Amino acid sequence: MTAPDWLTSAPIAHRGLHDEGGARPENSLAAFAHAVSEEVPFEFDVQLSRDGVPVVVHDADVARTTSGAGLVCELDWARLRQLRIGESGEPIPRLDDVLDAVDGKVPMVVDVRRWGFDRSSALERAVADRLRGYSGAAVVQSFDPFAVARLRRLLPDRAAGQASGTLPSAGPLKTVLGRTMLTNAVVRPDFLTYELSALPDPFVSFWRGPQRPVLAYTAHSPAEAERAARLADGCFFSGFTPEARVCRPEPRRRRACRGPGTPSR
């Protein structure tokens, strides 16, 4: 499957078009609705609750982003739906809620989040089941090469990307395998997502090609977006207001963000 042009034609809002600490927190329906209103493609994270519901949460534990605590994989949807993201009053959405709300209005990158060593395919199957019936533009990605391989099989009509970077929370072996992306030889992802601060990287250059673009994450300022434009084919961004998120193509270069912005963290 060839990566769609929209992946590299404009920057992608990381975890939605959110305002840190405000009314539109990361990975919330409010942040996604704002992205839709600004016609901005966005990325978000999905993992499974204990009872198998695909929910939109980035961290393994909900403590950083919500009013609760505990591992997502150990909490039922009945409990997760009661939590609120930050101080906003926004609930944790399900993948179904996001697909219903966006309804094909803007493209999306679905990051399939895996934590630990569970080899079950339940998460990939849950994501694939929902995306098969979704007519809008969407691709999938994961840091887990096993997940990428499964997604490629389950969703042959959707591009699947391999994400990687410095991987500070991984063990030594997983860090080496992840950073070098040696599994690409077997998995053959359609695009790569790599940590901007770790670029340039010789392994990224090796795996990158005309049919396999590289997206850098995450640009938090105009200067970082310019750097991403030099080192990658596209980027994820965070911390720009809708008015400041102005992109212009430049000769012999990819698009880059211009205008004032503030870091999201």
Which pair of tokens denotes residue 178? 């992840």
Rounded Cα distance between 160 and 151, Å, is 7
Catalytic hit among 14, 18, 34, 220: 14
Q: Can you tell me whether residue 173 is helix, strand or coil?
A: helix
Does 220 qualify as catalytic in the annotation?
no
Rounded Cα distance between 173 and 260, Å, is 40
Q: Can you tell me whether residue 31 is helix, strand or coil?
A: helix
Rounded Cα distance between 240 and 259, Å, is 9
Q: Using the 8-state DSSP alphabet, how is residue 94 labeled? A: B
Does 58 qualify as catalytic in the annotation?
yes
Assess contact for 162 and 187: CB atoms under 8 A: yes
Rounded to whole angstroms, what are the CA distances from 160 to 13, 58, 142, 196? 18, 18, 8, 20
Rounded Cα distance between 167 and 6, Å, is 27
Give the active site residues.
Answer: 14, 58
